[in-house]
Structure 1
Amino acid sequence: MIRWLALGLLGFFAIAALPLRAQDTTATDEAIRPAGEATLEDFLWIARPLVVFADNPADPRYVQQMQLITERLDALVDRDVVVLTDTDPSARSPIRRELRPRGFMFVLLAKDGTVIIRKPAPWDVREISRSIDKQPLRQQEVRDRRDTLRQPEPEQPTQ
């Protein structure tokens, strides 16, 4: 009897966790996507594109960079980063034509479209986050968020 109860509870919790996994996948799908036909102008003042280039999806530097990103994706999402991947040089995507990578490279752009980082080797998300946090626009976003958290809610009139 105890075995059946334990099995039933295990099944219940497994089913209850499914929507959470689906939401996590959706958040990952939105934060990491192929560069495709997107242009850098699509992200102006909306997000900070982090473009990861490689000549092949099996490139060890590309694989390492994507592992580093997925391990701490939440830190990038908090900073309005969208990760774009481009592993097909023959496709000549608009972003690849504009940034002209050679082999593996990642490029982080600010919301205004300026290049913050351009590196030929994988970087940890902590280092990427620090580079973002030094930017004046990011510092303003943090101040604005802090100010909205401090403001008291207006009092509702009692009737």
Structure 2
Amino acid sequence: MTNDPKRKNLSDHRPAPVTRSLRSKNFRTTCRKPFAFGLAPPISDRTGGHMKTIFALVIAGLLAFPAGAADTAEGQPTLPVVEDNDVDLSEFLWTKRPIVVFADTPNDPRFIEQMNFLNADIPALLLRDIVVLTDTDPAARSDLRRKLRPRGFMLVLIDKDGGVKLRKPAPWDMREITRSIDKWPTRQQEIRENLGKE
């Protein structure tokens, strides 16, 4: 069988192994990595010190941001708070929506938490014509206390028409407050009027 001339001719024309083509001169010059793909070096290898400079500038910019934010804080609106014990709710009829925050002392953690909630989104309060009234002195027996009769901490939401809409014995965040106010008929009317002006 090995003396068959046809078989000898077939064995002479076998294709070259794949490994032989990978070792060609062209392959060595285009790819110097031990992989079949030419991998690019990391950014830090190509740019060297430039990446360190860029990184330092980014860090410096981030550290400088709080200082810039403090400068613009002076132009921020302040919480509209009335701390007068002699305040009369009739002063705010059809102009403001009072939010009354009662506590037996200004050190009550619930009072502090509620004031922090209100300070967290002052623009939302101003948009809804809200004024914040605080009373932390039960001994003064203010008109607000006589009318609303709080026991310890209490949050009271009052509409522009003077109607008490909500009483809460625990602090409410701004999301809960604004959602509640936005459902009131007077607020719904304001929203419709504002949409008509646009």
Q: Could you state the TM-score of these two structures normalised by the residue count of structure 2?
A: 0.62
Q: Tell me which of 99, 105, 108 is aligned to 2:157.
A: 108
User: Which residue does the alignment assign to 2:141?
Assistant: 92
| TM-superposed deviation, 1:67 | 0.7
1:28 to 71, 78, 96: 78
Among residues 67, 70, 73, which one is paired with 2:119 in the alignment? 70
Match of 1:80 in 2: 129
Correspondence 1:48 to 2:112: no
C-alpha distance in 1 between matches for 2:84 and 2:119: 17
Relative contact order, higher structure (CA 8 A, sep 6+):
1
Letter in structure 1 aligned against 2:143: P
2:83 partner letter = P
Once residues 146 and 64 of structure 1 are traced to their aligned partners in structure 2, the CA distance between those partners, rounded to angstroms, is 34
RMSD: 2.0
- Is the CA contact (8 Å cut-off) linking 1:107 and 1:115 kept in structure 2? yes
Asked if the contact 1:116/1:131 (under 8 Å) is kept, the reply is no
State the Cα distance separating 1:21 from its structure 2 match. 4.3
Tell me, in whole angstroms, the C-alpha distance in 2 between the residues paired with 1:21 and 1:72. 13
Aligned length: 133
Structure 1: gaps spanning 5 or more residues: 1-9, 150-159
Higher alpha-carbon Rg? 2
1:121 aligned residue (150, 170, 177): 170
Q: Deviations over 1:134-157 (max 9, x none)?
A: 0111011011111111xxxxxxxx
1: CA distance between counterparts of 2:184 and 2:192?
Answer: 13
